[in-house]
Structure 1
Amino acid sequence: MRSAAVVGTGLIGTSIALALRGRGVTPHLLDADPQAARLAADLGAGVVGAPRTPVDLAVIAVPPQHVASVLKEHQLSGLAHDFTDVASVKARPRREAAALGCDLTRYVGGHPMGGREVSGPLAAQGDLFQGRPWVLTPGADVRERTVDRARALAELCGARPVLMEPDRHDRAVALVSHAPHLVSSLLAARLLDGEEAQLRLAGQGLRDVTRVAAGDVDLWTDILGSNAAAVADVLAEFALELGSVVDALRELGESAPERHPAGRARLAAALTRGVRGRARLPARTPAGPGLRLSGVAAGN
C-alpha cells in the first residue's frame, strides 16, 4: 500500500493516519468538520483534502450508522481503488452497504481493537494499535487485493490482523467491549447519588472499573444501538447472575452471615467465577505473525 485516505479524523482515524505517516505513507485527510481535518494535519497526520487521483486504500473512520452512506459517497467520487472501515460493529454496516448498492468487491470491514475513553484528534496516538488485534471481515465476493491492502493497513499500524465473520465479530465485541462499557457506565451512574465525603474515599479500583464510562455518549449510543441484540444477550445473562448475588446479599444482611450458608455459598461462587473468567484473558502480545485460534484465522 503506497497511498491512503482517511475519512473521519477523530481519535481512531487520526491515530491510523499518524501510524501511516510514521511508516512513510502520507494520508489524505477528509472530515465533515473541516476544522477536525486541519487539526489532524497540524498534528502531522497527513494532508487535508481529496487526492487528485485515486489512492490505494480509503479508511472510513466514522460511527457505524454512517459507514454505508460514506462508503457509497466515496466509491462514487473515485476516492480510492479499495475501501475498509474501522467501526466496532460489522454485520449491520455491511448489510446497509449492500442495500445502497456499494461495490462490496472493493470493500472489507475492519475493526482495530484499540481505543481510549477520550475522543477527537487531540487524543490520537500513533502507537494506539501496537500489538492489538485488528479484525477483518471480508465477504465471499471481495477481491484478494482488497483484503491484502486492509491487512497491510493493520500491519503498518503495528496490529495483528484477524479474519472473522461479521456476525461472529459482533457477538465477540458484545462480550469483550460493548456490554462491559454499558456495565461500567451504569456503575459510574451510581456515583451521582454519592456524597462528596464518600467519593473522596474512592481508590484506583473504582477508577479502573469506570474508566471507559467517560467515553463519547453519541458514539457509544450508536455503537450499542448498532449491535443491540448481541449486547442484550450478554447483559441478560449478566442480569441473572447479578439478581442471584443481590438475593444472597439480602439474606446475608438480615442477620449473622453464618446463619445463611447458602447465601455465602452463592456469593463465593460468583466471586470464584469472576476469578476464573479474568484468568482466561490472554496476555497482550507484541505485533508479529498472526495466530489461528478456535477457527479464527489471523493473517501475517
Structure 2
Amino acid sequence: MRSALVIGTGLIGTSAAQALARRGVTVHLADHDPEQARTAAALGAGTSEPPAGPVDLCVVAVPPAHVAATLAEEMRRGSARGYLDVASVKGGPRRELESLGLDLAPYIGTHPMSGRERSGPLAASADLFEGRPWVLTPTRDTDTEVLNLALELVALCRAVPVVMDADAHDRAVALVSHMPHLVASMVAARLENAEEAAVRLCGQGIRDVTRIAASDPRMWIDILSANPGPVADLLAELATDLDEAVTALRGLQSADESKRQGGVTGVEGVLRRGNAGQARVPGKHGSAPAVYEIVAVLIDDQPGQLARIFADAERAGVNVEDVRIEHATGQQAGLVQLMVEPQAAPGLAAGLRERGWSLRQ
C-alpha cells in the first residue's frame, strides 16, 4: 500500500491515517468539515489535498448512517483499488450497498475494536489500535486483493485481524459494547440529581462502571440507530434479570423467613452468574484471565511518583501486569494498585518498603 484516502477525520479516521502516514503511506484526508480535515493534517495524519488519481485504499470513517452513501459515491467515482469502512455495525451498510446494485468485489466491511471517551481529531493517536482486535467481514464476493489491502491496513496499525460474519459481528458488539454503554449511561444517570454528599463518596467501582458514559451522545445515537434490534433484545433479557433481582431484594426485606431465604438465593444467583461471565473476559494479550495479587501503595499527587514506583518495581525484579489508581477524596494523594503474579507479590512489597514506600492492605 502506497496511498490511501481517509474520508472522515474523527477519532478513528485520524488515528488510522496517523498510523499509515507514520509508516510511509501517502494519506489524503477528506471530511464534510474541511477545517477538521486540516486539523488532522496538522497532527501528522496526511494532507488535506485531494489525490490526483485513484489511491490504493479508500477508508470510510463516517457515522454508520452515512457509510453506504459515502462508499457508493467513491466506488462510482473510482477513487481507489479497494474500499473499506470502519463503522461499528456491518450488516446494515452491506445490505444498503447491495440494494444500490453495486459490485461489492472491491469492498470489505471492517471494525477496529478500539476507541476513547473523547472524539474528534484532537483525541486521535497513531497507537490507538495497537494490540486491539480489528474485525474483517469479507463475503464470497470480496476480491482477494481487497482482503489483502485490509489485512495490510490492520498490520500497519499494529492491530490483530479477526474474521467474522457481518451479522454475527453486529450481535457480538451489541453484547460487548453497545448494550454495556447504555447500561453505563443508565447507572451514571442515577448520579445526575443525587445528593452532593452521596456523590462525594464515589470510589473506583462507580468510576469503572460509568467511565464510558462520558462519550458523545450524538455519536452513540448514530451507532445505536444502526444496530437497534440486537441491543433491544439484550436489554429485554437484562430487564428480566433486573425484575428478578428486585424481587429477590424485596424478599430480603420481608419478615417472612422463607421469602428472606428466597431473596438470599436470588441475589446469590445473580452474583455467581456475574462471576462466571466476568471470568470469560479475555485477560492479558487475549489469553485466559489470570488472577493477580494486588500490592497497594500510597503515593502523593506529585510529578515523578509513578515513574519512581515503576523503577523501584523493576529494581525488585518484578513485572507489573496491570495498574489502577484510586484518588483520595479531598487529598492530594492516592492508592496505586500494582497487579503482579502472586509469587512475586511478597518480594515486591518488601522491595518497595525498603525504598520508603507506604503500603496498604
TM-score (norm 2): 0.77
What is aligned with 2:117?
117
What is aligned with 2:168?
168
Q: Point out which structure has higher relative CO (alpha carbons under 8 A, 6+ apart).
A: 1
Query: Once the two structures are superposed, what CA deviation does each residue of 1:131-172 show, in whole Å capped at 9, x if it has no partner?
Result: 111001112111100011011101110111111111100011
> SS at 2:44's partner residue?
coil
Q: How does 1:151-300 map to 2 (within 5 A)?
A: 151-255=151-255, 260-285=260-285
Instruction: Write the distance in 2 (CA, Å) between the matches of 1:220 and 1:100.
Output: 26
For the aligned residue pairs, the C-alpha RMSD in angstroms reads 1.5
- Going from structure 1 to structure 2, the CA distance change for 1:3 and 1:257 (only over 3 Å counts) comes to farther
Instruction: Write the distance in 2 (CA, Å) between the matches of 1:35 and 1:220.
Output: 23
Shift in Å, 1:256: 8.7
Q: Is the 8 A contact 1:85 1:110 kept in 2?
A: yes
Instruction: Write the distance in 1 (CA, Å) between the matches of 2:80 and 2:162.
Output: 23
Q: Is the 8 A contact 2:5 2:27 kept in 1?
A: yes
Q: Is the 8 A contact 1:63 1:87 kept in 2?
A: yes
Instruction: Write the distance in 1 (CA, Å) between the matches of 2:257 and 2:50.
Output: 68
Shift in Å, 1:26: 2.7
Kindly indicate whether residue 97 of structure 2 is the aligned counterpart of residue 97 of structure 1: yes
Shift in Å, 1:214: 1.2
Q: Structure 1: 5+ residue runs without aligned partners?
A: 287-300
> SS at 1:192's partner residue?
coil
> SS at 1:119's partner residue?
coil
Structure 1 counterpart of 2:6, one-letter code: V
Query: Once the two structures are superposed, what CA deviation does each residue of 1:229-259 show, in whole Å capped at 9, x if it has no partner?
Result: 1111111111111110011111213449896
TM-score (norm 1): 0.92
User: Percent of pairs identical after alignment?
Assistant: 56
Q: Is the 8 A contact 2:98 2:104 kept in 1?
A: yes
Kindly indicate whether residue 65 of structure 2 is the aligned counterpart of residue 62 of structure 1: no
- Going from structure 1 to structure 2, the CA distance change for 1:256 and 1:212 (only over 3 Å counts) comes to farther
Kindly indicate whether residue 147 of structure 2 is the aligned counterpart of residue 144 of structure 1: no
Instruction: Write the distance in 1 (CA, Å) between the matches of 2:224 and 2:176.
Output: 13
Greater Cα radius of gyration, structure 1 or 2 = 2
Instruction: Write the distance in 1 (CA, Å) between the matches of 2:86 and 2:135.
Output: 9
Q: Is the 8 A contact 1:131 1:284 kept in 2?
A: no
- Going from structure 1 to structure 2, the CA distance change for 1:271 and 1:192 (only over 3 Å counts) comes to same
Q: Structure 2: 5+ residue runs without aligned partners?
A: 287-361
Q: Is the 8 A contact 1:26 1:45 kept in 2?
A: no
Structure 2 counterpart of 1:153, one-letter code: L
Q: Is the 8 A contact 1:29 1:50 kept in 2?
A: yes
Instruction: Write the distance in 2 (CA, Å) between the matches of 1:93 and 1:255.
Output: 56
- Going from structure 1 to structure 2, the CA distance change for 1:73 and 1:284 (only over 3 Å counts) comes to farther
- Higher deviation after alignment, 104-113 or 212-221: 212-221
Instruction: Write the distance in 1 (CA, Å) between the matches of 2:37 and 2:169.
Output: 30
Instruction: Write the distance in 1 (CA, Å) between the matches of 2:277 and 2:46.
Output: 42
- Going from structure 1 to structure 2, the CA distance change for 1:255 and 1:125 (only over 3 Å counts) comes to farther
- Going from structure 1 to structure 2, the CA distance change for 1:173 and 1:25 (only over 3 Å counts) comes to same
Query: Once the two structures are superposed, what CA deviation does each residue of 1:164-210 show, in whole Å capped at 9, x if it has no partner?
Result: 11110001111111110111111111111201111111111111111
Structure 1 counterpart of 2:37, one-letter code: A
Q: Which portions of structure 1, spanning 4 or more consecutive aligned residues, are displaced by more than 3 angstroms?
A: 254-259
Q: Is the 8 A contact 2:253 2:260 kept in 1?
A: no
Q: Is the 8 A contact 1:257 1:264 kept in 2?
A: no
